[in-house]
Amino acid sequence: MGISAIAWLLVVSQPLLSGALPTPSPPGIPSTSTATSELAGLTVAAQGSQDGYSRTLFPHWITQSGCNTREVILARDGTNVVQSSSCAATSGTWYSPYDGATWSAASDVDIDHVVPLSNAWKSGAASWTTADRRAFANDLTNPQLLAVTDSVNSSKGDKGPEDWKPPLASYHCTYAKMWVKVKSVYKLTVTSKEKAALVEMLDTC
């Protein structure tokens, strides 16, 4: 491998300076007042059991508009994204609002389920049909899917806002509004600690 090729690999595996790239804005993010009202309307309850949970019970990524959901979100949230005939993102840039990093390789980007599948399972989705869980895991209508730095997504795992918040504090407001919207749309419950954390984040708006 030549020096130029090695240098290119080093560049694409490192975050770029964020510059003037726009922050991704998934559909359906409510206003602060609406999110506050929706949060007040959520049922507060202890989390249900993890028993029986499997990611395979939330089929993803399904084909939508000719591409799988991951590729749809990469195209939606990226800038100057070029896709191959099979929808794979071959070039583009992605700004991760969780940590403020910008990436030029799609392999450095994960599609986060804002409300993790495991959290949904324990807050109501265990009783859903497979079709309902498929819709939840591939939702393009509500702010449930977001392109973010892969390592940050891994650090989040299946944690709720009581245990994990985006490293970029300036995004806490938007994150809380997205979380509340998804839980409200799908009539999922929240724990008392989860609700308190959401209230705290909405207070930063």
Quickly list DSSP for 92-105. Answer: EEEEETTTTEEES-
* Residue 85, pLDDT above cutoff 90: yes
Residue 37 lies in a domain: yes
Residue 19 lies in a domain: no
The domain tally of the chain equals 1
CB 99 within 8 A of CB 171: no
What pLDDT sits at residue 180? Answer: 98
Residue 137 lies in a domain: yes
Residue 171 lies in a domain: yes
C-alpha distances out from residue 53 to 11, 28, 125, Å = 39, 28, 10
Residue 7 lies in a domain: no
Q: Put residue 174 in one of left, alpha, beta given phi > 0 → left and psi -120 to 50 → alpha.
A: alpha
Residue 1 lies in a domain: no
pTM recorded for the entire structure: 0.90
Ranking 3-7, 34-38, 134-138, 139-143 by mean pLDDT, the lowest is: 3-7
Range of the domain at 46: 28-202
Q: Which runs of consecutive H residues, i.e. helices, occur in 60-165?
A: 69-77, 117-122, 130-137, 150-156
pLDDT in tens, 97-122: 999 999 999 999 999 999 999 999 99
* Residue 11, pLDDT above cutoff 60: no
| 44-51: average pLDDT | 96
* Residue 10, pLDDT above cutoff 80: no
What pLDDT sits at residue 13? Answer: 44
Residue 6 lies in a domain: no
What pLDDT sits at residue 109? Answer: 97
Question: Residue with structure tokens 């005939």?
Answer: 85
Residue 119 lies in a domain: yes
| 16-34: average pLDDT | 82
What pLDDT sits at residue 7? Answer: 35
| 130-155: average pLDDT | 98
Residues 6+ apart with CB under 8 A from 18: 95, 100, 101, 102
